[in-house]
Structure 1
Amino acid sequence: MAGRFEGLSDLEWKLFEDIFPKEPEKRERGMPHAPFRHVLNTLLYILITGCRWCDVPKGEIWASKSAAHRWLQRWETDGTLESLQASTLGIAQEKGLINWNYGAVDGSFSPWKRWR
């Protein structure tokens, strides 16, 4: 369906696959963690649609909201998220998709006090 994010294609995933740490073949104990592709699908869905964490879709290509949030926090601290952003900007810059002469600021979520 056009205009709706339905997960990364195989080609799109190949662009980002090397940024993430290698997944271990098998963990010794506990449940296996969600595949990084599913986590990235979930995080991109939240960013693109603007949905709440509790409205994350369920299915075979999505990670749970708790797993996605846990990996988001980990990737923020270890620099993976910054590498992902730099890679995305680099690809967009190479393809000429970014016009650095213009910018947009959205203040719709800025708190303010009513003076009445």
Structure 2
Amino acid sequence: MEAPIIDDELWTLIEPLLPPPKPRRKEHPGRPRVSDRAALNGILFVLKTGLRWNYLPTVLGFGSGATCWRRLNDWRKAGVWDRLHELLLDKLREAGQIDLSYAAVDSSSVRAVGAGGKTGPNPTDRSRPGSKHHILVDANGVPISAILTGANRNDVTQLLPLVDAIPPIRGTRGRPLQRPKVIYADRGYDSDPHRQRLRERGIKPVIARRRTEHGSGLGKFRWVVERTHSWLHNFRRLRIRFDRRADIHEAFLKFGCALVCWNIFRRTEQPF
């Protein structure tokens, strides 16, 4: 299997975000330190293949699975994944690829092998332990914010947290973008109090109501969020949750959102 490689352009953006390595003792330096880029390639390999850490092939030059796991965790603590996501959102806005004329929200459930934090009985999977990925995307399907919860959490409980988690999106002169004009959502988000709170934030809610006939017509706006969930689930580590620690799975989720943003950005640079 060919190893996934972080390309040079993306590495140029990521490298300045990484914290400096911890100093070593001169008298007992230990083994040579695995380079950050090699460890990042190992993390990407696990994200794409879904491989368990202890099966990470060291012959590909990544270092051990334990080394890559520690870097993932250290960079999570340093806020690298959040800052990378925000940086790529800024670049997309600069390229004219952020459209917050409307946003769409939805969730997807994933099985959690071994349970752990932010899991719960999945009502769509015979009450087996599971988690939910809640995401908000713009009109182009760019993932703007993402939240992890247990699979038994109702979608509507994460509607306002998703909106409040939108980072200031810069990239051009003037005020940063931080609020969509309209939000489209399915029946799982039907709640009059939540509609009112969106209006108080200056957002028009367009949410399907329960106990009404299907065919609301919202699908022509909401399909972008379903496509983005599909893009995220191309990363096998996000399709099935193997990490008992919620913060580690959240790091993978944020890294996956950043990679989706990067793929969209690269398409805008290619000549037609």
TM-score by length of structure 2 reads 0.34
Do the aligned partners of 2:39 and 2:62 also contact (CA within 8 Å) in 1? yes
CA–CA separation in structure 2 for the residues paired with 1:36 and 1:69: 12
- Asked if the contact 1:46/1:56 (under 8 Å) is kept, the reply is yes
Q: Percent identity?
A: 26
Q: For residues 109 and 97 of structure 1, do their structure 2 counterparts lie closer, same or farther at Cα, with a shift above 3 Å needed?
A: farther
- Displacement of 1:88 after TM fit? 3.6
Three-state SS of the structure 2 residue aligned to 1:106 is strand
Which residue pairs with 1:46 in the alignment? 46
What is the CA-CA distance between 1:92 and the residue it aligns to? Answer: 4.4
Partner of 1:11: 9
- Give the equivalent residue in structure 2 for 1:105: 107
Q: Which deviates more, 99-108 or 82-91? A: 99-108
Distance 2:88 2:48 in 1: 15
Alpha-carbon separation, structure 2, partners of 1:101 and 1:92: 16
What CA distance in whole angstroms lies between the structure 1 residues aligned with 2:92 and 2:36?
A: 22
Alignment of 1:1-116 (within 5 A): 6-23=4-21, 28=26, 29-95=29-95, 96=97, 101-109=103-111, 111-112=121-122, 114=126
> In the comparison of the two structures, how many residue pairs are matched?
113
Letter in 2 for 1:69: W
Quote how far apart the aligned CAs of 1:72 are: 1.6
Instruction: Please give the alpha-carbon distance, in whole angstroms, between the structure 2 residues aligned to 1:56 and 1:16.
Output: 22
Q: Which secondary structure does the structure 2 equivalent of 1:105 belong to?
A: strand
> How many Å apart are 1:80 and its aligned residue?
2.6
Distance in 2 separating the partners of 1:32 and 1:49:
27
Structure with bigger gyration radius? 2
Q: CA offset at residue 20 of structure 1?
A: 1.2
Once structures 1 and 2 are overlaid, which stretch shifts more, 62-71 or 77-86? 77-86
Report the aligned-residue RMSD: 3.4
| Rounded Cα–Cα distance in structure 2 between residues aligned with 1:50 and 1:104 | 23
Matches of 1:41 and 1:71, distance apart in 2: 11
After superposition, the Cα gap between the structure-2 partners of 1:92 and 1:38, relative to the gap in structure 1 and judged at 3 Å, is farther
* In structure 1, C-alpha distance between the alignment counterparts of 2:88 and 2:3, rounded to whole Å: 17
**Cα 1:27–1:16 shift into 2, 3 Å:** farther
The answer to whether the Cα contact below 8 Å between 1:5 and 1:48 also exists between their aligned partners in 2 is no
Unaligned runs of 5+ in 2: 113-120, 128-272
Question: Structure 1: which 5+ residue stretches go unaligned?
Answer: none
Name the aligned partner's letter for residue 47 of structure 1: L
- Please say which of residues 36-45 and 56-65 is displaced more in the overlay: 56-65
| Residues 55, 105 of structure 1: alpha-carbon distance in 2 compared, 3 angstrom cutoff | farther
